[in-house]
Amino acid sequence: MTQAVKFCSHAGCRNLIPLTERYCSKHKHEESSRVYFHRKHSGGKYEAFYHSTAWKKLSYQYKLANPMCEACLKRGVIRKVDIADHIVPIKEDWSKRLDYANLQALCIVCHNIKSEKEVKERKKIKLKKY
């Protein structure tokens, strides 16, 4: 009786492997190296911080105290808060991560606009260094 087979999950690889496996012997090591690298460099402490109990409690309390988006209110628009955002990003100053005074209430739209500006500024700074 023959065993069921499928193609290797690596893009473009046409090697047939048992149905119970994901990659052929050629791509197993390559894929595990990629996964290891991604886990090592994916933002570790920042991601862990946003899942911490301390951050969840602080952001919840801030959103209760500030139920409307602060950026929208400045423009005269009333919109509910979605995110307790760090004014000074924690990637710039880790010590302010649990500072209540460093928070602002933002809706998704305002948060995405602010984050996009910050990313562009960081890229400009990196380009100036090189």
Residue range(s) defining the domain that contains residue 61 = 52-129
Residues 37 and 93 in one domain: no
Domain identity same for 26 and 78: no
Residues 87 and 23 in one domain: no
Q: What tens digit of pLDDT does each residue of 11-68 get? A: 899 999 999 888 898 888 887 777 766 666 666 788 889 889 999 999 999 999 999 9
Domain total for the chain? 2
Per-residue 3-state assignment (H helix, E strand, C coil) for the chain: CCCCEEECCCCCCCCEEECCCCCCHHHHHHHHHHHHHHHHCCCHHHHHHHCCHHHHHHHHHHHHHCCECHHHHHCCCCCECCEEEECCCCCCCHHHCCCHHHEEEECHHHHHHHHHHHHHHHHHHHHHHC
